[in-house]
Amino acid sequence: MSSQRSLKEIIEIISNETNLGKEEIHQLINDKMEELGEFVTELGAAHIVAREKNVDLSSEPPIQVQSQLTVDQLVPAITSVNIIGRILRIYDQHSFKKKDGTDGVLQSILIEDKTGKVRVVFWDQIVSELQNKNVKVGDPIRILNGYTKLGRDESVEVHLGIRSQVQIRPSGIDDTELPATQSIFVKIKDIKGNEIDLSLVAKITQIDDLLEFERSDGTKGKKKGLLVGDETGEIYINFWNEKVDIVDDLALGEVLEIVGLAAKEGLKGFTELHSSRYTNVSKRDKTKDIIVKKGFIGSGTAAEAQLKPIDQITSVGSLVSTKGLIVNIVPVHEFTREDGSKGMVRNVSISDKSGIVIVVLWDDKTQLVNEEDINKVLLISNGYTRKGRNSNIEVHCGNQTQLDIKSPDSDDTIQHLFDFIDIKDIKDDLEVAHVKGVVIDLPAVQDIVTKDNETVQLRNLRIEDQTASIRITCWRENVSKLSGLTEGDHIELLNAKVKEDTGYGSELLITRNTIVKKSLSSSSNPQGFVSSLTVSPKESNFEKLKDIEDIEEGDNITIQATVIKLIEKQFVYPLCPECKKKMKKENSDYICSEHGEVSEPLNRILFTFIANDGTGNINVLCAGKLAEIVLGMSANDAARMVEENESEKAPYSYLKAKNFVNSELIISGKVNKNPYLKSLEIIANSIERVKYNEATRTMIKQIHTD
């Protein structure tokens, strides 16, 4: 609702729009008051004078603005924004369903001041302000109490809420402080093929038939093409999906005003235009005919010549063409937009010799790639750059983008091979490393209980190249990145985090941003390199090993010893799920001394073996998850083995069959004194088989060092 103008403001407006002097206006107001007598106030008489002089007082009165910003000062999350600009674009209204089921409407405009441009978004009832006040391109506009947020292209937008006000052609604005009104329309010959938000006036010279198609996800799509031209050339425009409706009733020879188009390089080197969510078309009935210059406009260069290396993609908000080897594909994510429409998005990572970049595919483009396309080459024409979640630049692919996927030949492979670092050169001063090698150790996934009593997954692996080997750690949801890998696989790790060297050598950490992929067979490792496949995560580091005869109670030690005997006692123990204490089995029932009968026990493995390192014997206690890893099966499976074989000792036979006895182990753990045997024993926290090739190689290295 409009606020009341003061008499002074009304006189000021009448004076500005009629060139009458203020004294003359005061006289007209007094004359009107004498004419109407007690039926009118001085303010009412002023309104009558304004109406008789054809002065429009319907716009909002000026409001004293305490903090007015310019476009270049806008940042996200400002809760109250006051800004003045000139209208450059007026986009169509969009209706949508809100989450509560009610109908909503939005409309946006593009405004400009002398520092830049910004999109302004109107919601629901405020949209009517644009229609009621006959808004036109070129009008000055003042926004009061708006708020800022990031738009879909990661640029700042100004949104209007229920507390916001809009003033069209407000009084008191110095028009010279705003950019001069300019034509928003370009000539076809000036379209370069790397622009967005283009507008043109052109004549229809060809109308294609409607093309309807089915996407791979079963949804329907449609496209309609127009060939249009002006005095400088012709260009093809593709209208997609809902934008097809706005060109349904057009005829050959009509002159159109089209705004909100995106340009891209076509398949044959000619520039094409594509509709966007902001595209609008209107007929120009009262304009002189256009004599069209025949012939497509084009860049004059092949699309390949315009491709940028990945490390040269540095600016946000521009169109770019590039290509690279697909190194990672993320599953499609479906979402609902603010206007109620459904959308799809998928991230793909590509690399070349210069770097790696995330490519974001939107809607129909998400269906053009699948997991089988890893290690194929992706060619992108007219992607749009945005800032990603980690402030890295991403290439987004929407309607204006063309994608092409092909299998690499030998030249492509060489051209797109990433520049990996040798493992021996990984140092603390690196933040991340891109490395490749052969998986030479891949223990099973472990469940780890954190200090916050949270159970998380952990998996380690070790890879080796021709220069060295390195340990790699993977936690939580990132463990899934290692699924499908086996020892002997040639893999590549991109963006692995380098962990601080704590005295045991450099290590790598697989993070959310790390990509793990199997290498191309032709590029996995230098010719002549043969992996030892012998590295243990503990390594055979003889300097850190301790002799059994030298260990003492309370030590945390690592020994290298041979298993000489299994102590064949009960192997699987049923625990109470409530108190975690051992239970007795009576007939087929499990009884807890505190909680009574329990239907489903919690099974836990615990077994003991004797190890000898040549200096003495010691008992080693192996329990819990470590025991499951050593056995190669879960505690529940071990319990099932006991039940099926009707023998508590069945798992021992299984261990013997796996050649556990007489195996050489690296054992780490804490030394305790067994209260019953009154002898020392090791409570193991890590057990790894010794792999003799690595042990021999390490020994030779030590001999040469010594």
Is 675's pLDDT higher than 60?
A: yes
Average pLDDT of the residues in 490-518: 79
The model's pLDDT over 415-439, given as tens digits with 9 standing for 90+, comes to 555 667 888 888 777 888 888 888 8
Greater pLDDT, 306 or 7? 7
Least confident interval from 185-194, 332-341, 405-414 = 405-414
**What homologous superfamily is domain 423-518 in, according to CATH?**
Nucleic acid-binding proteins (2.40.50.140)
Q: Which residue has the higher pLDDT, 265 or 137?
A: 137
Mean pLDDT of 682-691: 83
Report the topology of domain 307-416: OB fold (Dihydrolipoamide Acetyltransferase, E2P) (2.40.50)
Q: What are 570-608's pLDDT values in tens digits?
A: 898 888 887 777 887 777 778 887 888 877 888 888 999
Residue type present at position 477 = E
Cα distance between residue 33 and residue 41, in whole Å: 7
What would the pLDDT profile of 290-317 be if each residue is shown by its tens digit? 888 877 665 434 444 467 888 888 887 7
Burial bucket for residue 637 (CB in 10 Å: 0-12, 13-18, 19+): middle
**pLDDT of res. 214:** 78
Contact 401, 381 (CB under 8 A): yes
Q: Is the pLDDT of residue 538 over 50?
A: no
Q: Rounded to an integer, what is the distance from CA 344 to the centroid of its chain?
A: 13
Please tell me which residue, 531 or 535, carries the higher pLDDT value.
531
User: Stretch 465-486: mean pLDDT, rounded?
Assistant: 84
Cα–chain-centroid distance for residue 600? 43
What percent of the chain stands above pLDDT 70?
Answer: 86
pLDDT at 682: 93
The span from the CA of 257 to the CA of 244, in Å, is 16
With vertex at residue 25, the alpha carbon angle to CA 22 and CA 31, rounded to the nearest 5 degrees, is 145
Proportion of the chain above pLDDT 90, given as a percent = 10
The per-residue pLDDT for 540 is 41
**Tens of pLDDT along 211-264?**
887 776 778 888 898 989 999 888 889 999 989 998 988 999 999 989 888 887
Instruction: Domain ranges for the chain, please list them.
Output: 7-52, 68-177, 188-283, 307-416, 423-518, 542-694
Instruction: Give me the CATH topology for the region 188-283.
Output: OB fold (Dihydrolipoamide Acetyltransferase, E2P) (2.40.50)
How far is it, in rounded angstroms, from Cα 610 to Cα 159? 73
CATH number, domain 68-177: 2.40.50.140
pLDDT beyond 80 at 20: yes
Give the chain's mean pLDDT. Answer: 80
Domain 542-694 fold: OB fold (Dihydrolipoamide Acetyltransferase, E2P) (2.40.50)
307-416 and 423-518: identical CATH topology: yes
Alpha carbon distances (Å) from 576 to 572, 588, 591, 602: 13, 15, 8, 6
pLDDT at 534 over 60: no
Question: Given this model, what pLDDT does residue 528 score?
Answer: 40
pLDDT digits (tens, 9 = 90+) for 69-96: 898 888 888 888 999 999 888 887 888 8
